[in-house]
Amino acid sequence: MLRQNKSALDEEIASALYKWRMAAAYYESAKDGDLMEYAIYELEAAKRRYTYLLRLKRNGA
């Protein structure tokens, strides 16, 4: 059971990293001011989720 939880957390971490990379790519391609603002928000949210999940893994969750 513990192994399944770690596997699920690892999958969440991989997904969060993918979303962070996609948000970064979107930020790089955004041209309009409103889209830039949205891209910055998405990029920061993705980064925070990824670092949160890494912290959970490091602390043994």
pTM of the complete model beyond 0.85: no
Q: State both tokens at 27.
A: 């930020």
Q: Where are the domains of the chain?
A: 12-58
pLDDT at position 60: 83
Model confidence at 4: pLDDT above 90: no
Report d(CA 30, CA 48) in Å as an integer.
Answer: 21
Share of the chain residues as helix, strand and coil, in percent rounded to the nearest 5? 90, 0, 10
Tens of pLDDT along 35-60? 999 999 999 999 999 999 999 999 98
**How many of the other CB atoms lie within 10 Å of CB of 3?**
7
